[in-house]
Amino acid sequence: MYKLFIRPFLFLFDPEAVHHFVFRFLKICFKIPGVNNVVAMFHNVNDPQLSVNIMGLQFKNRVGLAAGFDKDAKLYDELSTFGFGFIEIGTVTPKPQSGNEKPRMFRLPKDKALINRMGFNNDGADAAAVRLRKRNSKIIIGGNIGKNKNTPNENAISDYEYGFNALLDVVDYFVVNVSSPNTPGLRALQEKEPLTALLQHLQNLNEQKKSPKPILLKIAPDLTNEQLDEIVDIVKQTKLSGIIASNTTISREGLQSEGNLKKETGGLSGLPLKSRSTEVIGYLRKRTGKELVIIGSGGIFTAEDAQEKINAGADLVQVYTGFIYEGPGIVANICKGLIK
């Protein structure tokens, strides 16, 4: 029903406008008594075979919602009823910011892809923390943190520290985002010296806490093997829990969509990213053995796609673009396929 009727209608309108409309619609619907139970009944697959313990956290299944969908932690309780094993909010920054100029999100239906250049538009870390303190569901929440656009890279550590402290008591794990292509200069933080300094600082803060939280690094898919080797060494040195592979790509190789769409700047997500993200996961697993947790993200639309990531070495997987193209039944379909 979603792909036959709902998606074609929604795809008639601007992607970002549709996103906000869907959020408002779901907020209203879930205020009706019993709606959450009905939605959960049709979208949750509760099977002990799916449950896994990763990073000391018990996930009811391996399928999560990637950062970027619920940036400001406004809909995580409602989204949890669609069967996700975990939800990652953010990317949040210390100060609220409006992000880049609109339009800044584009659909590429021929490629089952999206291009976005949102630019970390969010209400700020403090606002997200306030909403997360009202959590009603038991869903595992990840907090994806970044820096404000106007913060120079030499002061980036203070921004990440702010986000870490703001969310410490309300998330179950952290993700350090230095790999978005939509904040000028951000990817330069993936270089050895600034990255080591940033991750070591956050880990030092973490180790001082009564209940330290797992910290993961989200990386770009556009890194060379030599850069991946360096990332692995840094993550091991700073004793992070793991890596998320991967963020969006700046590559436009092999796209079937019209030229004007392909020329839009921003990060590409969806099916064209599938092979590269799986390749990165496999490379990282060979380099790390079982030492680090790997969360696979990029081009997951089906159970076969998810299993491919898991076979390559992913402990958990995340969907975003697949959720938009496949609809709310994607998690149940993946979970049923993983059981088989």
Please, what sign has the CA dihedral across residues 327, 278, 189, 155? positive
Write down the pLDDT at residue 153: 97
Q: Which two tokens stand for residue 57?
A: 């956290």
Question: In this predicted structure, what is the pLDDT of residue 95?
Answer: 98
Q: What is the pLDDT of residues 239-261, one digit of tens each?
A: 999 999 999 999 999 999 988 89
**Residue 192 — pLDDT band, cuts 50, 70, 90?**
very high
pLDDT-derived band of residue 73, with 50, 70 and 90 as boundaries?
very high
Written in H, E and C, the secondary structure of 49-86 is: HHCEEECCEEECCCEEECCCCCCCCCCHHHHHCCCCCE
Q: What is the pLDDT of residues 137-168, one digit of tens each?
A: 999 999 999 999 999 999 999 999 999 999 99
Torsion from C-alpha of 218, 165, 240, 300, nearest 10 degrees: -30
Separation of alpha carbons 21 and 24, rounded Å: 5
The CA–CA distances, whole Å, from 51 to 139, 313, 336 equal 13, 17, 13
Residue 299: left if φ>0, alpha if ψ -120 to 50, beta else—which one?
left
pLDDT at 330 over 90: yes
pLDDT, average across residues 212-218: 98
- Mean pLDDT value across the chain: 97
Mean pLDDT throughout 104-122?
98
Confidence of residue 340 (pLDDT cuts 50, 70, 90): confident
- Strand 105-108 versus strand 57-59 pairing type: unpaired
Burial 227-262 (b: 16+ CB within 10 A, else e): ebebbbebbeebebbbbbbbbbbbebeebebeeebb
Mean pLDDT, residues 319-324 taken together: 98
Rounded mean pLDDT of 59-74? 98
Does residue 127 surpass a pLDDT of 90?
Answer: yes
Predicted pLDDT of residue 16 = 98
Beta carbons of 249 and 276 less than 8 angstroms apart: yes
% the chain with pLDDT above 90: 98
Q: pLDDT band for position 63 (50/70/90)? A: very high
DSSP state of 3: I
Share of the chain above pLDDT 70, in %: 100
* Residue 203 CA neighbour count, 13 Å, CB half: 18
Structure confidence at residue 35 (pLDDT): 97
Count other Cβ atoms within 10 Å, centred on residue 139: 20
Per-residue pLDDT, averaged over 41-49, amounts to 96
Q: Helix, strand or coil for residue 250?
A: coil
CB 92 within 8 A of CB 124: yes
User: Which residues, 6 or more positions from 156, have their beta carbon under 8 angstroms from its beta carbon?
Assistant: 147, 189, 194, 198
Q: Which of 48, 66, 39 is nearest to 320 (CA)?
A: 66
Tokens of 161: 């520290």
Residue 91, pLDDT score:
98
Q: 40, 84 in Cβ contact below 8 A?
A: no
Q: Which of 80, 179, 180, 257 is catalytic?
A: 180
pLDDT of residue 259: 85
**Residue 200 phi, psi dihedral angles, 5° rounding:** -65, -40
Q: How many CB atoms lie within 10 A of CB 269?
A: 28
Nearest alpha carbon to residue 316 among 70, 63, 101, 123: 63
110: pLDDT strictly greater than 90: yes
Q: Which residues pair with 23 in a beta bridge?
A: none
DSSP conformational letter for 281: H
Where helices occur in 141-293 by DSSP H, the ranges are 156-167, 192-207, 225-237, 259-262, 274-288
- 297 flagged as catalytic: no
- Which residue blocks in the chain are alpha helix, DSSP H? 7-10, 15-29, 35-43, 76-80, 125-132, 156-167, 192-207, 225-237, 259-262, 274-288, 303-312, 321-326, 330-339
